[in-house]
Amino acid sequence: MSDPLVKLERVTFRYGERTVLDQCDLAISPAERIGLVGANGSGKTTLLGLIVGLRRPALGRVIVFGKPREREADFRAVRGRVGLLFQDSDDQLFCPTVAEDVAFGPFNLGKSRREVEEIVARTLAELGLEGYAHRVTYKLSGGEKRLVALATVLAMEPEVLLLDEPTAGLDETAAERVTGILAGLPQAMLIVSHDHPFLARIAGRTLCLRHGRLQEAS
């Protein structure tokens, strides 16, 4: 088995007095798709935040792409290569138009205008969002917002995807569309979801977060 892309070693995280993650271990290998379930408030979103450095562990190590990551500067390099899809797409889409939102990440990675335009067109086409480039983000439907949010993540060409409830709040058609797209992506994934049939289709194995520890879900 090749080296894991993401590794958490005995990571502990606390909100004030409450211990959310208690010496938690996790490894994501290339092309591996892991489902993550757990009760509301059990720390699933926190776990995703730890991997991209939005939160820092009290104890333990976060190793991404073979290097331990501790400071903000360490994580800056991580964020281009690990894509995080937020639970609420309104948090993720903040540019006036779809094209600008998709372009935001690639520009920050230092791509040229021509490259960015090419990436935007390609990413939108891959997700079946042709013709959305000049749509105004806040006027999109929930399903369209989720797809555009996914496009903004994929535009950065990440190697790992962290998906926070990618199908939650979507109607059947939209959820099906998102599922189909995710199933066709080559990246390694960690997918938080309460949707068991969806996880059964997408994820190779499923972990359950309970009392701050990860265990294989039956």
Partner 1 sequence: MHRTADGPALLDRIDPRSRILAAIAFALVVSVVNRPPALLAALACAFVSAAFSGVGPRDMLRRLAPLNVFMLLLVALMPLSSGGRQLGTVGPFPYGADGLRLALTIAAKGNAIVLLLIALAGSLDINTVGHAMSHFRVPDKLTHLLLFTVRYLDVLRREYHRLRVAIEVRAFRPGVNMHTYRTYGRLAGMLLVRSLDRSERVVAAMKCRGFHGHFYLLDHFHYSRRDALFAAVAAAILAGIARLEWL
Closest to partner 1 by CB, 133 vs 208, is 133
**Closest C-alpha among 154, 159, 163 to residue 103:** 154
Closest to partner 1 by CB, 116 vs 178, is 116
**Is residue 51 within 8 Å of 162, Cβ to Cβ?**
yes
Under the binding rule (CB under 8 A), the answer on residue 76 touching partner 1 is yes
- d(CA 44, CA 28) in angstroms, rounded, equals 15
Closest to partner 1 by CB, 121 vs 217, is 121
- Among residues 90, 115, 130, 171, which is the contact residue for partner 1, using CB under 8 A? 90
Q: Which tokens go with 60?
A: 């333990």
Query: Which listed range, 4-12, 96-104, 176-184, 192-200, lies at the site for partner 1 (CB under 8 A)?
Result: 96-104
Residue 89 burial (10 A CB sphere; 0-12, 13-18, 19+)? buried
In this structure, the number of other CB atoms found within 10 A of the CB of residue 34 comes to: 22
Under the binding rule (CB under 8 A), the answer on residue 4 touching partner 1 is no
Write the binding mask 135 to 174 for partner 1: x where contact by CB under 8 A, - elsewhere.
-xxx-------------xx--x------------------
Under the binding rule (CB under 8 A), the answer on residue 79 touching partner 1 is yes
CB of 210 to partner 1, least distance (A): 25
**Closest C-alpha among 156, 28, 6, 150 to residue 80:** 156
Under the binding rule (CB under 8 A), the answer on residue 203 touching partner 1 is no
Closest to partner 1 by CB, 31 vs 54, is 54
- d(CA 120, CA 155) in angstroms, rounded, equals 7
Q: Is 95 helix (H, G, I), strand (E, B) or coil?
A: coil
In this structure, the number of other CB atoms found within 10 A of the CB of residue 84 comes to: 20
Residue ranges binding partner 1 (CB under 8 A): 49, 52, 54, 76, 79-80, 83-84, 86, 88, 90-92, 94-97, 99-100, 103-105, 107-109, 116-117, 120, 136-138, 152-153, 156
